């Protein structure tokens, strides 16, 4: 079999060297198949428009899976239905090249519905050639989403029944409802007149891509005599009788006149700038930043659990503590609770600070618990080690009865911090975490307030008001009297 | 200069420094920060970021970008990785380089967003259809998330193979100080790429070969490549193992717990050591050939956050040895309790 393409276009290989077997001059398509005609129209168009060298052809899964036997362009063969996704990325990699995404009706309108819709909706600057033959050709004549009502196929042997299988999908009409596409049309290749119209539309679509105008979509009604089970010479009649009444041939959308070419975005930054933004300030030594307090030294691995409501900033307090440790040349690790609790309103993080490399970041036994609310205090207190330490937000935690037996038994030091009130007095309850940190720094002067200031200035460099608020909250916490008198 | 980053952010920085030009992804916890960081940084550098309509689309975009010759990546977690297995098979078949990050969450099904290591089989045995493997790297720190992205792109290009970074949820979510290296220079030209110009005229990426012998030849070529990778790219960390009586085996966050335990029990006079697989595929069987010769070794304890998936690979690697091999594991999003490991070690 194989219909000969007589006068070969420049965009076709002279000899189809990739085709297995001896027949290297003819195509794999059946007699009367529309794919061959459509290939020829595309090949001639890209030749005439001078696009051949710059074109990448994305083949579908379907009868035209072997389009790469014929087209003398770059080729990539996509998985069934995924051609628009593949084409999207090929085009975005080389925006000055041209990408043709060629798909059958099973490929585009069934398994690849999501991919085509979204590529169209994004307005990818590609040309989609959609070959609608109302049947699955390659796999042996099964029903396609575009098969007509009452059409008999291998999988609708009694005819397509809308009650069971729904109605034939009109993809052009659907695509034309989207804002982004610039050209959406349906045409056919069942006779010379319509082939000429198709020729014109393919060229229009390719020109649109050349002018960087965006997404164009040409649906082509095409013959499949083999699977329609008609003689090639009867295919025209079959199409006229069955397909043409249901599938209107028209230009559904053409906004090429209004569409402006899409420019390439320019880089706004160099990678070095991003790296610089992410860098923490550097202090040569722990005392190298003007602070006056003499710092204590962290001598052993210290494990924190910081817990509270979502919104109390427990995760960022933990991270902030780590940053303070890092600029003071300690090691640190931080793990958030990111489980379902996160949405349920409570949050916690595990922090380890250490003078040495930290083997495991996992905190199961706690040296220092920082609890912002009652449930967290109750939940974690019994993981605190003997002679450990608990900071708790005594603005809202009044009842310690549940934890006292354990606290006494394990000789745990309890420190109440009036953190929520400190934050509220500044008019911003979010400052509760920083107020807590201020007091922690007072009780355990491993870090200096000034170091915290510097970190805040870098972190919120575009929000000076927030820096000021944070600094004040730190100091409110720091200046509070120590309240470790409960036990 | 130190930065304090999440594993999920570090892997994006590593990729950017490795010259990755495009990111195609779909959000999923606990991998979403990767997509967030990519959305933030890629466009600022005039590189491509695109939130795809699904993981199916995302991996096929990666396929397109890789075919076009770019360093390209995506990231997801179990449910998304399952969807990506289709595209992965095509990418592997066409021998295209790319980076895929899997921040493993608990399964099966929708499971939950807690950490697990249960994609091990899916990742190390191919995942999609057909005879193929991907190179799988398992970081256990934020620095390694960054470094392995850089190494990953290099391996991917060298072997023309997809590289997967397999990290459990904790490694993705945790923060640690990291050092950002200089950007990679001199990324090699890919003469096979679809560059959309004269160079690409004869370039083709396809995985359909109707001729059985021709397709077998493709498979044999992949096979040769896999063997070469198995011979040359096994990576593992061996920690205080030479004189150990008990060797703990684990990767990812588990290996960090194990290392701390080795230090702890050594202080109590128990000779324990650690073997940490760094490449999950190729499986570091060399490590296990080596420990067979350790005179003092009595027992191997495999610890994992999955149902014995690593355990069976270790067991196969220690085939015919008289060593006792046991499994300590947790699932469902739970970390292994240090206490349980300790008990297993001290009872051995
Ligand atoms: C995931 C997947 N499912 C199913 C198939 C089998 N398959 C190959 S082609 C095809 C239908 C092709 O029909 P269509 O897109 O209409 O193109 P045509 O062959 O008619 O040109 C199917 C179902 C496949 N290759 N991959």
Residue-level pLDDT at A202: 98
Ligand 1 contact via A61 beta carbon (within 6 Å): yes
- Looking at B232, B260, B290, the residue that finishes a domain is B232
If pLDDT is split at 50, 70 and 90, which confidence band does A7 have? low
State which ligand 1 atom lies nearest to the alpha carbon of A110. 15
Residue-level pLDDT at A291: 53
pLDDT of B285 higher than 50:
yes
Residue A142, number of CB atoms within 10 A of its CB: 16
If pLDDT is split at 50, 70 and 90, which confidence band does A266 have? confident
Distance from CA of B197 to the nearest CA of A (A): 4
Joined together, the tokens standing for residue A288 give 């190298």
Ligand 1 contact via A254 beta carbon (within 6 Å): no
Distance from CA of B124 to the nearest CA of A (A): 22
State yes or no: ipTM above 0.90: yes
**Helix (H/G/I), strand (E/B), else coil: A392:** strand
B219 in the same domain as B144: yes
The residue among B128 and A285 whose pLDDT is bigger is: B128
Q: What is each CA distance from B53 to A113, A335, B103, B235, B320, in whole angstroms? A: 11, 30, 19, 36, 49
pLDDT of A124 higher than 50:
yes
Give the integer Cα–Cα distance in Å for B337 and B335: 6
Minimal-distance CA residue of chain B relative to A17 = B202
Give the integer Cα–Cα distance in Å for B192 and B214: 20
B45 in the same domain as B146: yes
- CA A242, distance to chain mean position in Å, is 42
For residue A56, is the peptide bond before it cis, meaning its omega torsion is within 30 degrees of 0?
Answer: no
Kindly state the average pLDDT of the residues A321-331: 95
Which of A59, A73, A360 is opposite residue B257, by nearest beta carbon?
A360
State which ligand 1 atom lies nearest to the alpha carbon of A131. 21
Ligand 1 contact via A217 beta carbon (within 6 Å): no
Contact in structure between B313 and B287 (CB atoms under 8 Å) = no
Domain assignment of residue B245, given as a range:
237-346
pLDDT of B287 higher than 90:
yes
* Contacts with A65 from chain B: Cβ below 8 Å: 208
Give the integer Cα–Cα distance in Å for B62 and B57: 9
Minimal-distance CA residue of chain A relative to B195 = A94
E-strand ranges in A365-423 read 366-371, 384-393, 413-417
In the A/B pair of chains, how many CB contacts fall below 8 A? 240
**Nearest alpha carbon to residue B174 among B271, B33, B70:** B33
B246 in the same domain as B100: no
**Nearest alpha carbon to residue A187 among A235, A111, A239:** A239
Ligand 1 contact via A472 beta carbon (within 6 Å): no
Phi/psi at A198 (5° precision): -65, -45
E-strand ranges in chain B read 2-6, 22-25, 48-51, 72-76, 98-106, 112-115, 135-137, 162-168, 175-179, 204-205, 236-239, 246-249, 272-277, 279-281, 299-304, 324-329
pLDDT of A8 higher than 80:
no
B195 in the same domain as B114: yes
Which of B43, B70, B210 is opposite residue A93, by nearest beta carbon?
B70
Residue-level pLDDT at A262: 82
Kindly state the average pLDDT of the residues B233-260: 98
B78 in the same domain as B31: yes
If pLDDT is split at 50, 70 and 90, which confidence band does A414 have? very high
Q: Do B197 and A53 touch (CB under 8 A)?
A: yes
Please check whether residue A263 touches B, CB under 8 A: no
CATH value at residue B65? 3.40.50.970
Q: Domain count for chain B, please give it.
A: 2
- Looking at B178, B211, B232, the residue that finishes a domain is B232
Distance from CA of B53 to the nearest CA of A (A): 7
Give the integer Cα–Cα distance in Å for A32 and A34: 6
Per DSSP, what are the bridge partners of residue A416? A392
If pLDDT is split at 50, 70 and 90, which confidence band does B53 have? very high
Question: Could you say which residues from 42 to 101 on chain A have a Cβ atom under 8 Å away from some Cβ of chain B?
Answer: 53-56, 58-59, 65-66, 68, 72-79, 82, 85-90, 92-94, 96-99
Contact in structure between B104 and B117 (CB atoms under 8 Å) = yes
If pLDDT is split at 50, 70 and 90, which confidence band does B109 have? very high
Which of B4, B65, B210 is opposite residue A322, by nearest beta carbon?
B4
Residue-level pLDDT at A343: 53
pLDDT of B179 higher than 80:
yes
B191 in the same domain as B92: yes
B56 CA distance to ligand 1 middle (Å): 17
Q: Express each pLDDT in A47-106 by its tens digit.
A: 999 999 999 999 999 999 999 999 999 999 999 999 999 999 999 999 999 999 999 999
A110 CA distance to ligand 1 middle (Å): 9
Domains of chain A, start order: 35-254 (3.40.50.970), 269-485 (3.40.920.10)
- Looking at B232, B247, B267, the residue that finishes a domain is B232
Kindly state the average pLDDT of the residues A399-404: 95
Choose the mutation target among A58, A76, A209, A273 for the interface with B, i.e. most B CBs under 10 Å. Answer: A76
Ligand 1 contact via A83 beta carbon (within 6 Å): no
pLDDT of A341 higher than 50:
no
Kindly state the average pLDDT of the residues A361-390: 96
B200 CA distance to ligand 1 middle (Å): 27
B93 in the same domain as B173: yes
Minimal-distance CA residue of chain A relative to B45 = A267
For β-strands A183-188 and A251-254, DSSP reports them as antiparallel
Instruction: List CB contacts of A290: < 8 A, sequence separation 6 or more.
Output: A450
**Nearest alpha carbon to residue A133 among A119, A153, A118:** A153
B131 in the same domain as B252: no
Q: Do A78 and B260 touch (CB under 8 A)?
A: no
Instruction: List CB contacts of A367: < 8 A, sequence separation 6 or more.
Output: A302, A303, A304, A384, A385, A388, A389
Exposed/middle/buried for residue A119 (C-beta within 10 Å: 0-12, 13-18, 19+) = buried
Question: Could you say which residues from 330 to 349 on chain A have a Cβ atom under 8 Å away from some Cβ of chain B?
Answer: 331-336, 338-340
Give the integer Cα–Cα distance in Å for A478 and A444: 11
Give the integer Cα–Cα distance in Å for B210 and B285: 36
Residue-level pLDDT at A483: 65
State which ligand 1 atom lies nearest to the alpha carbon of A108. 15
* B162-B163-B166-B169 Cα dihedral, nearest 10 degrees: -80
The half-sphere exposure of A141 on its side-chain side, counting CA atoms within 13 A, is 15
Residue-level pLDDT at B143: 98
B161 in the same domain as B306: no
Minimal-distance CA residue of chain A relative to B339 = A364
- CA B74, distance to chain mean position in Å, is 13
B180 in the same domain as B114: yes
Residue-level pLDDT at B10: 98
If pLDDT is split at 50, 70 and 90, which confidence band does A487 have? very low
Minimal-distance CA residue of chain A relative to B212 = A20
Choose the mutation target among A360, A363, A365 for the interface with B, i.e. most B CBs under 10 Å. Answer: A360
CATH value at residue B330? 3.40.50.920
Per-chain mean pLDDT for chain B: 97
Nearest CA to ligand 1 atom 20: A137
Kindly state the average pLDDT of the residues A353-368: 96
Kindly state the average pLDDT of the residues A378-386: 97
Q: Express each pLDDT in B112-161 by its tens digit.
A: 999 999 999 999 999 999 999 999 999 999 999 999 999 999 999 999 99
Minimal-distance CA residue of chain B relative to A13 = B202
Nearest CA to ligand 1 atom 9: A62
Q: Express each pLDDT in A155-210 by its tens digit.
A: 999 999 999 999 999 999 999 999 999 999 999 999 999 999 999 999 999 999 99
pLDDT of B111 higher than 70:
yes
**Nearest alpha carbon to residue B112 among A338, A361, A307, A336:** A338
Helix axes A314-327, A449-459, angle to 10 degrees: 110
B57 in the same domain as B142: yes
Give the integer Cα–Cα distance in Å for A314 and A321: 11
pLDDT of A485 higher than 70:
no
Q: Do A118 and B177 touch (CB under 8 A)?
A: no
If pLDDT is split at 50, 70 and 90, which confidence band does A292 have? low
Ligand 1 contact via A65 beta carbon (within 6 Å): no
B135 in the same domain as B84: yes
Q: Do B3 and A336 touch (CB under 8 A)?
A: no
Per-chain mean pLDDT for chain A: 93
Residue-level pLDDT at A265: 79
Q: Express each pLDDT in B297-327 by its tens digit.
A: 999 999 999 999 999 999 999 999 999 999 9
């Amino acid at each position: 079999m194989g219909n000969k393409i007589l006068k070969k276009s420049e965009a076709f290989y002279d000899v189809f060297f990739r085709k297995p077997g001896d027949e290297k001059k003819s195509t794999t398509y059946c007699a009367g198949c529309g794919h061959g005609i459509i290939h020829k129209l595309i090949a001639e168009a890209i030749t005439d428009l001078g696009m051949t060298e710059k074109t990448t052809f994305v083949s579908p899964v379907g009868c035209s899976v072997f389009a790469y036997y014929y087209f003398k362009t770059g080729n990539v063969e996509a998985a069934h239905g995924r051609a628009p996704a593949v084409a999207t990325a090929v085009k975005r990699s080389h925006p000055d090249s041209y990408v043709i995404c060629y798909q059958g009706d099973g490929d585009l309108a069934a398994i690849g519905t999501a991919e085509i819709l979204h590529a169209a909706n994004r307005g990818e600057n590609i040309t989609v050639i959609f070959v609608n033959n109302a049947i699955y050709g390659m796999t042996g004549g099964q029903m396609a989403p575009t098969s007509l009502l009452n059409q008999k196929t291998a999988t609708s042997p009694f005819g397509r029944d809308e009650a069971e299988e729904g109605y034939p999908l009109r993809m052009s009409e659907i695509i034309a409802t989207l804002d982004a596409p610039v050209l959406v049309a349906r045409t056919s290749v069942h006779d010379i007149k319509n082939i000429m119209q198709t020729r014109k539309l393919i060229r229009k679509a390719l020109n649109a891509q050349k002018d960087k105008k965006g997404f164009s979509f040409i649906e082509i009604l095409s013959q499949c005599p083999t699977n329609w089970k008609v003689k090639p010479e009867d295919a025209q009649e079959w199409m006229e009788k069955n397909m043409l009444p249901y599938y209107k041939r028209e230009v559904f959308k053409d906004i090429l006149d209004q569409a402006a070419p899409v420019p390439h975005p320019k880089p706004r930054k160099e990678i070095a700038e991003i790296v610089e933004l992410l860098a923490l300030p550097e202090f040569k030594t722990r005392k190298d930043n003007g602070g006056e307090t003499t710092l204590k030294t962290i001598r052993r691995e210290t494990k924190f659990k910081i817990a509270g409501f979502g919104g109390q900033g427990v995760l960022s307090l933990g991270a902030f503590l780590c940053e303070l440790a890092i600029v003071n040349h300690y090691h640190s690790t931080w793990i958030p609770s990111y489980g379902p609790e996160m949405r349920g309103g409570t949050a916690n993080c595990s922090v380890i600070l250490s003078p040495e490399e930290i083997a495991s970041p996992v905190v199961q036994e706690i040296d220092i618990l920082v609890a912002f609310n009652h449930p967290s205090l109750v939940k974690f207190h019994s993981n605190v080690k003997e002679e450990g330490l608990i900071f708790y937000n005594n603005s809202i935690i009044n009842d310690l009865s549940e934890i006292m037996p354990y606290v006494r038994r394990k000789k745990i030091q309890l420190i109440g911090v009036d953190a929520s009130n400190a934050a509220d007095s500044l008019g911003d309850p979010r400052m509760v975490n920083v107020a807590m940190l201020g007091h922690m720094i007072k009780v355990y002067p491993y870090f200096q307030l000034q170091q915290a200031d510097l970190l805040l200035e870098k972190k919120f460099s575009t929000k000076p008001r927030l820096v000021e608020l944070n600094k004040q909250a730190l100091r409110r916490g720091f200046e509070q009297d120590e309240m470790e008198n409960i036990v | 200069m130190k930065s304090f980053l999440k594993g999920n952010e570090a892997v994006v920085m590593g990729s950017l420094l490795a010259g990755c030009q495009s990111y195609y992804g779909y959000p999923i916890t606990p991998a979403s920060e990767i997509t967030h960081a990519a959305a933030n940084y890629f466009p600022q550098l005039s590189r491509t970021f695109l939130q795809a309509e699904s993981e199916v689309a995302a991996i096929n975009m990666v396929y397109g970008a890789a075919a076009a010759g770019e360093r390209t990546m995506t990231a997801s977690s179990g449910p998304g990785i399952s969807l990506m297995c289709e595209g992965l098979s095509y990418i592997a078949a066409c021998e295209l380089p790319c980076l895929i990050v899997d921040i493993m969450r608990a399964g099966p099904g929708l499971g939950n967003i807690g950490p697990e290591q249960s994609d091990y089989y899916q990742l190390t045995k191919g995942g999609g259809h057909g005879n193929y493997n991907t190179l799988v790297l398992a970081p256990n720190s934020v620095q390694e998330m960054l470094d392995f992205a850089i190494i990953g792109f290099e391996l991917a290009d060298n072997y023309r193979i997809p590289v997967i970074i397999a990290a459990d949820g904790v490694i993705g979510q945790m923060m640690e100080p990291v050092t950002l290296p200089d950007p990679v220079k001199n990324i090699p030209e890919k003469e096979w790429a679809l560059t959309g110009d004269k160079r690409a005229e004869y370039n083709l990426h396809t995985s359909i070969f109707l001729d059985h012998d021709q397709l077998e030849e493709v498979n044999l070529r992949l096979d040769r490549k896999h063997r070469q990778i198995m011979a040359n790219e096994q990576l593992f960390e061996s920690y205080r193992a030479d004189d150990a009586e008990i060797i703990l085996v684990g990767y990812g966050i588990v290996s960090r717990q194990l290392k701390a335990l080795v230090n702890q029990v050594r202080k109590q006079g128990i000779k324990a050591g650690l073997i940490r697989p760094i490449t999950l595929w190729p499986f570091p069987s060399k490590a296990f050939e080596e420990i067979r010769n350790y005179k003092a070794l009595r027992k191997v304890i495999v610890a994992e956050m999955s149902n014995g998936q690593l355990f069976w690979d270790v067991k196969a690697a220690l085939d015919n040895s008289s060593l006792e091999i046991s499994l300590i594991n947790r699932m469902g999003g739970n970390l292994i309790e240090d206490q349980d490991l300790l008990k297993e070690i001290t009872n051995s």
